[in-house]
Amino acid sequence: MVYRYYMWLFVGLGNPGSEYERNRHNIGFMAVDEIASQYNFGTWKKKYQGEFCEGMIAGEKVIILKPMTYMNESGRSVQALSSFYKIPTSNIVAFHDELDVMPSKVKTKIGGGAGGHNGIRSMDAHLPDINYKRVRLGIGHPGDKDRVHGYVLGNFSKEDEKWLPDLLKVVAKEAPLLFQNQDAKFISNIALAMQPPKPKKEKPVGS
């Protein structure tokens, strides 16, 4: 008999503390907060060097975790919780900011390099393997590598705030597709939802 792991772990990557709350680097926290809210998850608890809550999404039991270790040590929290609940890496989904994806865009991948992201690097170091899913939430690149540190630890701009709430809502809405190996549909549905409305064609005068 093949044993089916029924539990999933959604990890939002970010830094704890109100001073980091609206940082671009914290979009992972924002995404899982929206998921927890949209699917009416239970109360947040403090354990495993993080904050976590539990709920159901499309019939699947899900734990949402926000490591409170600061970004560079995120893997310690993820390892502690996933080890206790015996969640395999194939059932872990990490939500994180991505410099190499345009703002308001989303990409996914399984495994691969950390791409300079310290939270992903820490997860890679502490998990048994790196074959977990990453939901890469685009924040864009400042154009100069010397500006990256200040950019990711800077708050979203007023211009960003025009698309950010909508993106978080649609990521949460489409989250069930992540269980179903329908990543391409997940990405395309988000892209479609984030398209600006087409301008209405004006009727010719006298028609």
pTM of the model: 0.92
> Longest C-alpha distance within the chain, in Å?
73
Q: What is the pLDDT of residues 111-133, one digit of tens each?
A: 999 999 999 999 999 999 999 99
Confidence of residue 198 (pLDDT cuts 50, 70, 90): confident
Is it the case that residue 3 has pLDDT exceeding 50? no
197 or 118: which carries more pLDDT confidence?
118
Residues with active-site annotation: 25
Mean pLDDT value of segment 177-192:
96
Is it the case that residue 1 has pLDDT exceeding 50? no
Across all residues in the chain, what is the average pLDDT? 93
Quote the percentage of the chain above a pLDDT of 70.
93
Instruction: Kindly state the DSSP code that residue 146 receives in the 8-state scheme.
Output: G
Looking at residue 94, its pLDDT comes to 98
On whether the CB atoms of residues 149 and 113 are closer than 8 A, the answer is: no
CATH classification code of 7-193: 3.40.50.1470
Q: What is the pLDDT of residues 140-151, one digit of tens each?
A: 999 999 999 999
Q: 60: closest CA among 108, 134, 2, 5? A: 5
Strands 133-138 and 106-110: antiparallel
Q: What is the pLDDT of residues 42-85, one digit of tens each?
A: 999 999 999 999 999 999 999 999 999 999 999 999 999 999 99
Is it the case that residue 207 has pLDDT exceeding 90? no
Mean pLDDT value of segment 181-197:
94
Residues with Cβ < 8 Å from 135, sequence gap 6 or more? 31, 93, 94, 95, 96, 106, 108, 171, 178
Q: How many CB atoms lie within 10 A of CB 146?
A: 8
